[in-house]
Amino acid sequence: MTKPADPRSESLRDATQPHTWDLLVIGGGASGLGTALDAASRGYRTLLLEAHDYAKGTSSRSTKLVHGGVRYLAQGNVSLVREALHERGLMRRNAPHLVRDQGFVVAAYRWWSAPFYGVGLKMYDLLAGSLGLGSSRFVSAAEALRRIPTLQKTALKGGILYFDGQFDDARMAVTLLRTFQNFGGVALNHAPVTGLIHDSGRVTGARFRDTETGQDHEVRARAVVNATGVFVDDIRRMEDPLVEPMLSPSQGVHVVVDRRFLPADTAIMVPRTDDGRVLFAVPWHDHVVIGTTDTPVPQTSHEPRALPQEVDFILRTAAQYMDPAPTRADVRSVFAGLRPLVKAAGGTDTKALSRDHVIRISGGGLITLTGGKWTTYRRMGEDTVNRAAELAGLPQRLSLTQALKLHGAFRESPESQVPDSHWKVYGTDASRIQALPGAQAALHPSLPYTEAEVQWAVRHEQARTVEDVLARRLRALLLDAQASIEAAPRVAALLAEELGQDAEWQAGQIQAYTTLAQGYVLA
């Protein structure tokens, strides 16, 4: 059987053709992929370069919610909430295989809690308008316990039921990549930008290194977008080493536990924790994600690590609302992500920093996009491409992404839909993967994934490493870090077969992944 052509090699060839791109987008997270897709769907010739892997950073480490931001409403940021709720509705409509409605209960243990939070959540419903997911309402203690049998019963008065969205963040990134490619866009991962190219004081391209071959390349573009999340200041310093930093990064931590701690489909929302944040316990891929924290960090890292006090805070808060409550021994994985919060005055608490996206254009024309969140990725991309087209003098074309169905989206007919299982994230591609020879071969007894999905990830989704597969194409690293370590040798063997690599390469991949994944195992 003839092996399919290596898609990344084709992308490298296309990326290095001697022509000028309309847009070069640096960064393959939510903001970069959203920008690249918006540009390509308008017909602009677009190249995206990602230093590591798509959604390697913050974009695969979220709370897995598509939401308006209940606590931003409490802060009085009505315009941000309205925009996010609108985008939530579009995301639900355009990616039904990845975004689903999620019910939440705000448990009331004081007589005034339900009416107090009920008023705010009714405002939340009104701001969503015609794109709302369901009306919030009061529920009795009995109904709250029916929806969440593991809710703390003592002194429970009832609660408020409301609705938001839930999704798989890294799979959304891969879906945006596939949609971008469907429009003729070219994307390359494991291709860090090493410098910017200047002509007459203007940024007109970039140099990048292909980490697989070690070769350096140059690309030219009419507009260059820096969408590297918490690393935007690194790219900005390539243009001006003395530029003032834009960001004040904050770390958010989550723990993942077994579904028995939240056996029903309804999630828990804690509206105000001891440190003034919101905490969620959300069912996700037959597990439960609990978080998050908000800890200022002095520097950025590609692999941020949870602090012991952050994990203790999450478990301590969860114990106030869950019975039985998870302990450290129950944690299957712990992960941390960094938020690209736009700098504020000294001493400002990170909970109060701007969650709005910001577009800044340098004197040399480098367009930097940062801030925002997954829910507003589409709007961020649209705004950025509008600015880039104006700056570069490109033909003015309207954005198409408001009504653009993403790759794999189901048709309207119910029979075309994949049942709710781990296969659903592939949408209409699921049947093609299930037809591969390895579709019945499980990678690990504690994980839902198959060998066919590894083959698919290499052939169609640019997966190049064991980490690419187990952390982001599949979500094994977050569901059960130890099980993912045990699955790594088989994944390395499958990758080696697909990529033509030898035993030494496999051993290096297993070692690298094991070292990384051990940081997700709670000691």
The answer on pLDDT for 350 being more than 50 is: no
Q: Output the DSSP codes for 259-302.
A: GGGS-SS-EEEES--TTS--EEEEEETTEEEEE---EE-SS--S
Between 284 and 133, residue with greater pLDDT: 284
Under 8 Å between Cβ of 31 and 448? no
Assess whether the previous peptide bond of 266 is cis (omega < 30° from 0). Answer: no
The answer on pLDDT for 348 being more than 50 is: no
Range among 135-139, 237-241, 417-421 with highest mean pLDDT value: 237-241
Q: At 107, list the tokens.
A: 């448990």
Q: Report the mean per-residue pLDDT for the chain.
A: 92
The answer on pLDDT for 4 being more than 60 is: no
Structural domains of the chain, ranges and CATH numbers in brackets: 7-58+171-247+352-403 (3.50.50.60), 414-518 (1.10.8.870)
Q: What confidence score (pLDDT) does residue 416 get?
A: 52
Supply angle C-alpha 181, 184, 187, rounded to 5. Answer: 50
Q: What confidence score (pLDDT) does residue 345 get?
A: 44
In this predicted model, what pLDDT tens digit does every residue of 467-508 receive, in sequence order? 999 999 999 999 999 999 999 999 999 999 999 999 999 999
* 198 Cβ contact partners less than 8 Å away, ≥ 6 residues apart: 204, 239, 364
How far apart CA 137 and CA 144 sit, in angstroms, is: 11
Q: What is the pTM of this model?
A: 0.95
Q: Of 321-325, 356-360, 456-460, where does mean pLDDT reach its minimum?
A: 356-360
Q: What average pLDDT does the segment 162-169 reach? A: 96
Range among 63-77, 127-141, 267-281, 437-451 with highest mean pLDDT value: 437-451
Confidence of residue 351 (pLDDT cuts 50, 70, 90): very low
Q: What confidence score (pLDDT) does residue 344 get?
A: 59
Q: What average pLDDT does the segment 427-447 reach? A: 96
Q: What confidence score (pLDDT) does residue 276 get?
A: 77
Q: What confidence score (pLDDT) does residue 182 get?
A: 98
Q: What average pLDDT does the segment 283-293 reach? A: 96
How far apart CA 328 and CA 311 sit, in angstroms, is: 8
CA-to-CA dists, residue 263 to 250, 293, 351, angstroms: 31, 24, 31
Share of the chain above pLDDT 70, in %: 94
The answer on pLDDT for 349 being more than 50 is: no
In this predicted model, what pLDDT tens digit does every residue of 373-403 receive, in sequence order? 999 999 999 999 999 999 999 999 999 999 9
Confidence of residue 15 (pLDDT cuts 50, 70, 90): very high
Q: What confidence score (pLDDT) does residue 346 get?
A: 44
In this predicted model, what pLDDT tens digit does every residue of 134-164 receive, in sequence order? 889 999 999 999 999 999 999 999 999 999 9
